[in-house]
Chains A and B, each alone.
Chain A
């Protein structure tokens, strides 16, 4: 079945460091791909999305490119801030007539130190 695998955390970085969180997926067809973020004590928020190969999603300085050839959707940010500390989830959406449920990775906790 479809699945998502993320790099394990926690990831600890200093402020202004470069961030990469790896995400790879297994899917039939052409799923949409998402990054969701969960700040401490809050619900899941959509961070960015991409719906087809080579699409780049971006938001709040974060970027991720839908790479069909490597089945990857890695999250990057050039300069992280303390306020980026959160848990990040990669997810895919089964499309077509499959109802669109989301399949999530296990999450990667990011901690940014001043």
Chain B
């Protein structure tokens, strides 16, 4: 098992463009989380899935953001009409819902820069 993977690792885009990130969780993990981390801050929760169902979305997730996990395996996070304020590290984490400790395993993140 190679852990949680995210692609791309870096994305530079111009304001107004759409971007999509992918997360591949640890294979047996049915819960998948997205977080956003800005410089000098801790990660902030965006949304999470249990299998293919999106069960919670943060108020941080504006209408320009959409996340999917169509087959309960990998997930995508799309940002439409990007703004400079979207520049951040986007982190994905996964866990098994059977874990009594809620131990989440994080991917390396996708760093987004909006010019």
Contact = CB atoms under 8 A, between A and B. Distances in A.
B94 to A, nearest CB: 11
A9 B91 CA distance: 23
Given A46-B103, A51-B100, A99 B48 contact: yes
Nearest to A103: B45
A112 B110 CA distance: 28
Interface stretch (A12-20, A37-45, A59-67, A74-82): A37-45
Given A32-B101, A44-B91, A101 B45 contact: yes
B43 A104 contact: yes
Interface of B: 31, 33, 35, 40-45, 48, 50, 55-56, 91, 93, 95, 100-109
B40 A32 contact: no
B44 A46 contact: no
Q: How large is the interface on A (under 10, 10 to 19, 20 to 34, 35 or more residues)?
A: 20 to 34
Nearest to B45: A101
Nearest to A102: B104
A89 interface: yes
Contact of B42 (A49, A95, A99, A105): A105
A85 interface: no
A43 B109 contact: yes
Contact of B101 (A44, A45, A49): A49
